[in-house]
Structure 1
Amino acid sequence: MKKLLEAIVERNRHWTSQGEVASYIPELSKANRDALGICVVTLDGEEYSAGDYETKFTMQSVSKIVTLMLAILDNGKENVFSKVGMEPTSSSFNSIVNLETKNLNKPLNPMINSGAIATTALIAGETPEEKVERILKFTRRISGNPDIYINEDVYRSEKETGHRNRSLAYFMKSTGVIEGNVEESLDVYFKQCSMEVTARDLARIGALLANDGILPWTGEKIIPREVARIVKTIMVTCGLYDASGKFAVHIGIPSKSGVGGGILSAVPGRMGIGVVGPALDAKGNSIAGVKVLEDLSREMDLSIF
């Protein structure tokens, strides 16, 4: 497995030169465009890695699956999906158009920014600080890494430049999707996106989902099987923004990407995969990371379809 991963990473490393690091959040522009790495965690607890897998990056939109799990645990699926839909979109991840023209003003799904902000607003906690601490504690638990923290520089950068996200949030406040304090919900959202991880952390969270909510390395049940199924399904249909359909056809693995360059994948019954590659394509997905997953899926017949 390790030799296969090393070969796939080196075969696709040249793609990093075809992408660009995210620059609309200034702090993200400091990422190493040439980095590319992968980690695989099997359901019997074996771990394999290759390339720049120890590179640290912020979760960004990958964090949306963490908060979706937590929101469903806190509120139940019916309450969560009364505020957020579960349909794919052909618009970009930060589009505001669909909020007014589609789905009765409700965000189309929890994987785009509007839906993720609405989902985060549902997480239990008396204060923003308590909500952030619960998100951090849950992320550490499902990744088996107690040393996951918020990158304060990225958080400040996101907060200072998050004007589109503020527009989305205040629009949802006007329609009743967000019921609490808008700025507090946004602050929690900016902090969750700024959690710093590695490909190994993503692979372990992917393994939890692949194992129907049970941690492979401890046997502990973290989330009900139904919650794992819901999250994986939405990852398939919505996880790579408006490139989700193409990704499903060519790779066929439930996955979630983020503009920090991470991709988290869960192959049901087999493995979790974490990829890092900060150079992004025009859709906001890791350009080399997608190619790595395409090769791995083909070589190991990982598509669920």
Structure 2
Amino acid sequence: MAEKHDLKSLASAIQSFASSSPFLSYLTELYEKYESVNEGTVANYIPELGKALPEWFGICVATVNGQVFEVGNCNQLFTMESISKPFVYGLALEDYGREYINSKVSVKPIEETLNSIALDEKSKRPYNPIVNAGAIATTDLIKGNGVGARLKRILDMFERYTGRKHDIYMPAFVSDKAYGNRHRAIAYLMLNFGIISEKIDETLDLYFHQSAIQVNAHDLGVMAATLANGGVNPITGERAIDERYVQDVVSVMQTCGMYDSAVEWAYRVGMPAVSGISGGISAVVPGKLGLGVFSPPVDEGGNSIRGMKVCEDISKDFGLHIFNVAQPKHNLKDLIESGESVDDW
């Protein structure tokens, strides 16, 4: 009990420091820079998604030492949608190991749309765990006796990543399921090639549930920071994923997480990331931090417009591109840990 109390005290002290850090001023300026952007549209092909307000906008940065910096609507809940996919992929890896999972789902980036009804022509496997086919195949592999038990394992996993319990937004689940005929077509195609089990209705039910898990920008930042910290939640100290599989999850995010924009994202931003059609982006800077951004207006590829701009600015300003070797414009460590003012840059 004393250990938990000490951990809470430490987290409180760290957060108190974070709230007065000049890095928060930087994020506030970034928020104000893009707050008025009116590009993109709120996704409405699933009716429940269309109810989101376009002005919602939140930015959260969580570091591997437990500091959290956030501005805007970071507590606004939204459904996880595709952001759930790499994390569930990690759970499947823990269940079966890398070799078996790779025999069911490949890790190839493709330029096909997210919901393409297509498999690799040679192997007949889904191209990667992020496209809908690969995500359905991954969800099919989650162990448990029935939807309830399997869903509990997924919810428990996300609780380890974020440090809090999560709910299913049932209207979104119902909406996803009602408009899920394309998912059913994909599932039956994979059944034909022996990729998934015959429990198609159960697997799709679980898949629609995982997509409807509610999170916020704060959660996305902490989830990414957990991966950046080798699979250990930097705030609670709890391990969320076996460290052996962190590289698998982050690698898939780097190559496939931004869908048909993944190549351009890798070139311009260079952060492993995954986005959801509801407007969230969760990005990882290994060994340093996690970034969560939420803004519902998305581009044609389903990626948050404001979210992409924020990630690109942070990457450039602090030299966080995975292949960057040049001196960054600003030193992230100094800005977070010192009393330097943004006005002094």
The TM-score, its normalising length taken from structure 2, stands at: 0.85
**Residue 119 of structure 2 corresponds to residue 95 of structure 1:** no
Letter in 2 for 1:21: V
Mapped to 2, the partners of 1:266 and 1:276 lie a distance apart of 15
The TM-score, its normalising length taken from structure 1, stands at: 0.96
Q: What is the aligned counterpart of 1:123 among 142, 149, 171?
A: 142
- Offset from partner CA, 1:185-205 (integer Å, 9 cap, x none): 000000000000111111111
Contact 2:90 2:248 in 1 (8 A): no
Higher relative contact order (CA 8 A, sep 6+): 1
Contact 1:121 1:180 in 2 (8 A): no
Computed over aligned residues only, the root mean square deviation of the Cα atoms, in angstroms, reads 1.1
Mapped to 1, the partners of 2:43 and 2:240 lie a distance apart of 33
SS at match of 2:298: coil
**Residue 269 of structure 2 corresponds to residue 251 of structure 1:** yes
Contact 2:86 2:252 in 1 (8 A): no
Poorly superposed stretches of 4+, deviation over 4 Å: none
Mapped to 2, the partners of 1:211 and 1:232 lie a distance apart of 12
**Which residue of the partner structure matches residue 174 of structure 1?**
192
Letter in 1 for 2:288: R
Q: What is the aligned counterpart of 1:14 among 32, 36, 41?
A: 36
Q: What is the aligned counterpart of 2:63 among 19, 35, 42?
A: 42
Structure 1 segment 125-274 matched on structure 2, within 5 A? 125-146=144-165, 148-274=166-292
Q: What is the aligned counterpart of 1:279 among 286, 297, 322?
A: 297
Mapped to 2, the partners of 1:220 and 1:53 lie a distance apart of 22
Q: CA deviation at 1:219?
A: 3.3
Change over 3 Å in CA distance of 1:92–1:82 after alignment to 2: same
Structure 1 unmatched ranges of 5 or more: none
Q: How many residues align?
A: 301
Contact 1:41 1:271 in 2 (8 A): yes
Q: CA deviation at 1:112?
A: 0.6
**Which residue of the partner structure matches residue 27 of structure 1?**
48
Report the structure number with the largest CA radius of gyration: 2
Structure 2 unmatched ranges of 5 or more: 1-22, 324-345
Mapped to 2, the partners of 1:103 and 1:234 lie a distance apart of 20
Q: CA deviation at 1:210?
A: 0.3
Mapped to 2, the partners of 1:267 and 1:103 lie a distance apart of 34
Q: CA deviation at 1:113?
A: 0.5
Q: What is the aligned counterpart of 2:101 among 68, 80, 103?
A: 80
